[in-house]
Amino acid sequence: MEDRQLVIGGFYKHFKGKLYQVKAVAYHSETKEKMVVYQALYGSYSMYVRPFEMFMSEVDHEKYPQAEQRYRFEQIELSDEVQETDTESAKDIRAEEAVEALDKETEDIQEGQVNPYLLRFLDAESYTEKLNVLAESRDKLDDKLINAMAASMEIEVPEGTINQRYASLQSCIRTHARYEGSRLR
């Protein structure tokens, strides 16, 4: 592995396409192992910690043959303009994961009984439209519908009350609109 530098405060794209910001380097109190502390730029903006060597490592291309990134996390530049941060292979990987998650969530729904709000959400052509559908369905939301909507966007909404999960999904959609533009790709 070449000598790569980690930038505190830098923005990094995971090889599956999600964005993160590095917050700090920390050391395990018992083992003294060097760790990277980073925050998701989607969903509930959860904080994560990962061993430094793993964060900086190359993608296992045997396990993920479609991944085009060389490294697990690669630094990117963000600006107020729309960013083109997704590679086609990362989109393909995330699309496959979303389809699997949707299949899992809807396997017990009979044909013709798909929630109409979910269909409208899936058909939305912009993040603004998705936000509108989400707002319209607020009184009829349940965990399954939230999970299906989130999976269609390749995100995970943390457990909690329906109102907390609604707010988390809404925040994530707004973040996508801010960093990716208002039109869906």
pLDDT of residue 86: 41
To the question of pTM greater than 0.85 for the whole model, the response is: no
**pLDDT tens digits along 91-142:** 444 445 555 555 554 444 444 467 888 888 888 888 888 899 899 988 889 9
Q: Rounded CA gap, 19 and 48, in Å?
A: 13
pLDDT of residue 80: 34
Mean pLDDT over all residues of the chain? 80
Percentage of the chain surpassing pLDDT 70? 76
If phi > 0 it is left, if psi is from -120 to 50 it is alpha, else beta; for residue 120 that is alpha
pLDDT of 24 above 80: yes
| Higher per-residue pLDDT: 104 or 62 | 62
What is the set of domains in the chain, with CATH numbers? 11-76 (2.30.30.320), 88-180 (no CATH)
| Higher per-residue pLDDT: 156 or 48 | 48
Task: State the average pLDDT over residues 24-44.
Answer: 92
Q: Rounded CA gap, 38 and 131, in Å?
A: 27
pLDDT of residue 52: 96
> pLDDT band at residue 4, thresholds of 50, 70 and 90?
confident
Host H or E run for residue 38 = strand 34-40
| Higher per-residue pLDDT: 18 or 86 | 18
For the packed helices 143-152 and 88-106, what is the interaxial angle rounded to 10 degrees? 160
Percentage of the chain surpassing pLDDT 90? 34
| Cα Rg of the chain (Å, integer) | 18
Residue 73 C-beta-side C-alpha neighbours within 13 Å: 25
